[in-house]
Each structure stands twice: as structure tokens, then as C-alpha cells.
């Protein structure tokens, strides 16, 4: 069975601080995808990143960066120089990557981390 | 990529009634899914909407409560039947592409309040 754990329920920072959101996962699949989504108060899910389990390169996109460590089953997300607009719930998710697999396309979500950035 | 239109975006319903949520995709997709997000909670998969056959439900969800239709490769509906306040949630439609590079796309969600 797949499991995603986001141990941080809520994080509060002041604008311009760096913040890291933790994500630890469990899966028996040999190939899988990891995702991060942002959910602002309006409720829609905003896709941030997808990482294939074969690709352990870290990624940077503007103020966002992701650290994937297969050895520790972690996929952490860092926001540099946080802004008030970053305030949202952030979800880490996992899915099987093998086309035709029984769980292909289905996402298992973590519990989410509520990030509040104060001005 | 895929663009998903979900209707309605929100609704307030009386207990005991039913609501049908529509999900329209701008391209043909193999897999469509329905998720529920209860207030303050994470997303939980309700079922996989199968084109031309009955939906596949996850543990804890049943067809009588959440009937799903999928008449073609671009459209699906989820009905929340005989609603109670506990059904107040955000319901989201999701699709996955099978072109060898999965990315899960989500509709904007339907915020349902049952009074």
C-alpha cells in the first residue's frame, strides 16, 4: 500500500523567510511519481511539480526548489524568500508510474501542510 | 496537457436531495477519477470512472451513494445521493494521460454544502 506523510500540519513564517515542507512516502512500486500541489483558499489544486522515481536530480523553479532523496524516501519542498501569496495548503502526493498498473493515475495524498506567510 | 471544466463550482443543497457534478475534458483521456476532500482534510479517492463499464470504487465508497457515469472519453458525472451534512466537501475530478508521461490534472472542484 502507498502512504504519504507530511508531518508538519501547520507552518507559520514571516515574509522573506525560507521555508521547507517535508514529505516522506512509502510504496512497493518500483517506478512511481511524486507530486506537489498547492491549494489556495479558493479550493482548486495547482500543480507544482511531478518527479519520476528514476530522476533524483533536484529541481529549482524560481523561488521553489525540490529535494528528492530516494534513500530516505523523501521529497521535500523549499520556498525561498517566502511571500504572502505563498499562503496555502500544500499537498505531497504519490502515484504508480507503470502504465497499466492497478494504481496508475491514482494519487495518494499526504495530509497537507498549511503554510501561513505573515507580512 | 488537459483542461478540465467542472460544474457546478459550488452549491448549497438540502439534506435528502441529490446533486450531480459534471466533469468535461478538452481531450480524450483514458482514466478519470473522482476525489473527495472533507473540510480541513486531505483528498481521498472515491472511484475510477471507467468508460463503457461500471466505476471502480475505493474502500468505503459505494455505488448507491456515489453513482458515476462515463458515457465517453471526455465526460463523466458524479452524483452525491441522499445527501447529509457529512457530505459537505469539495469534490474534484481528475484525469491522467497515458502517453507515457503521467501527469494528473484536476478540475477546479465543486464545493458542496449540505444544510
Q: What is the pLDDT of residues A1-40, one digit of tens each?
A: 789 999 999 999 999 999 999 999 999 888 888 999 999 9
pLDDT digits (tens, 9 = 90+) for A67-114: 999 999 999 999 999 999 999 999 999 988 766 666 677 899 999 999
State CA B5 to chain mean position distance: 11
**Residues of chain A with C-beta less than 8 angstroms from the C-beta of B96:** 95, 104-106
Q: Is A106 on the interface with B (CB under 8 A)?
A: yes
What CA–CA distance (Å, rounded) separates B38 from A73? 27
Backbone angles phi, psi at A109, to 5 degrees: -100, 150
Q: Is A64 on the interface with B (CB under 8 A)?
A: no
**Residues of chain A with C-beta less than 8 angstroms from the C-beta of B95:** 105
- In the predicted model, what is the mean pLDDT of residues B4-8? 95
State the smallest CA–CA distance between residue A79 and chain B in angstroms.
21
Q: Name A29's Cβ contacts closer than 8 Å, sequence gap at least 6.
A: A2, A53, A96, A97, A98, A101, A103
- In the predicted model, what is the mean pLDDT of residues B27-51? 92
Q: Are A112 and A54 in contact (CB under 8 A)?
A: no
Amino acid at each position: 500500500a502507498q502512504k504519504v506523510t507530511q508531518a508538519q500540519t501547520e507552518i507559520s513564517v514571516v515574509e522573506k523567510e525560507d521555508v521547507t515542507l517535508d514529505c516522506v512516502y512509502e510504496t512497493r512500486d518500483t517506478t512511481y511519481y511524486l507530486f506537489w500541489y498547492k491549494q489556495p483558499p479558493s479550493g482548486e489544486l495547482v500543480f507544482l511539480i511531478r518527479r519520476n522515481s528514476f530522476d533524483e536530480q533536484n529541481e529549482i523553479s524560481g523561488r521553489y526548489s525540490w529535494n528528492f532523496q530516494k534513500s530516505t524516501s523523501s521529497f521535500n519542498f523549499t520556498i525561498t524568500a517566502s511571500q504572502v501569496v505563498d499562503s496555502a495548503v500544500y499537498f505531497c502526493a504519490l502515484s504508480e508510474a507503470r502504465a497499466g498498473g492497478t494504481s496508475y493515475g491514482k494519487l495518494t495524498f499526504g495530509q497537507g501542510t498549511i503554510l501561513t506567510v505573515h507580512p | 496537457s488537459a483542461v478540465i471544466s467542472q460544474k457546478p463550482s459550488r452549491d448549497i443543497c438540502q439534506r435528502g436531495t441529490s446533486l450531480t457534478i459534471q466533469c468535461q475534458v478538452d481531450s480524450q483521456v483514458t482514466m478519470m477519477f473522482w476525489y473527495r476532500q472533507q473540510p480541513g482534510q486531505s483528498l481521498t479517492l472515491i472511484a475510477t470512472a471507467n468508460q463503457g463499464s461500471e466505476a471502480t470504487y475505493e474502500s468505503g465508497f459505494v455505488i448507491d451513494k456515489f453513482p458515476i457515469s462515463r458515457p465517453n472519453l471526455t465526460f463523466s458525472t458524479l452524483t452525491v445521493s441522499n445527501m447529509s451534512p457529512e457530505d459537505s466537501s469539495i469534490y474534484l475530478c481528475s484525469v491522467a494521460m497515458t502517453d507515457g508521461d503521467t501527469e494528473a490534472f484536476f478540475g477546479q472542484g465543486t464545493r458542496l454544502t449540505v444544510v
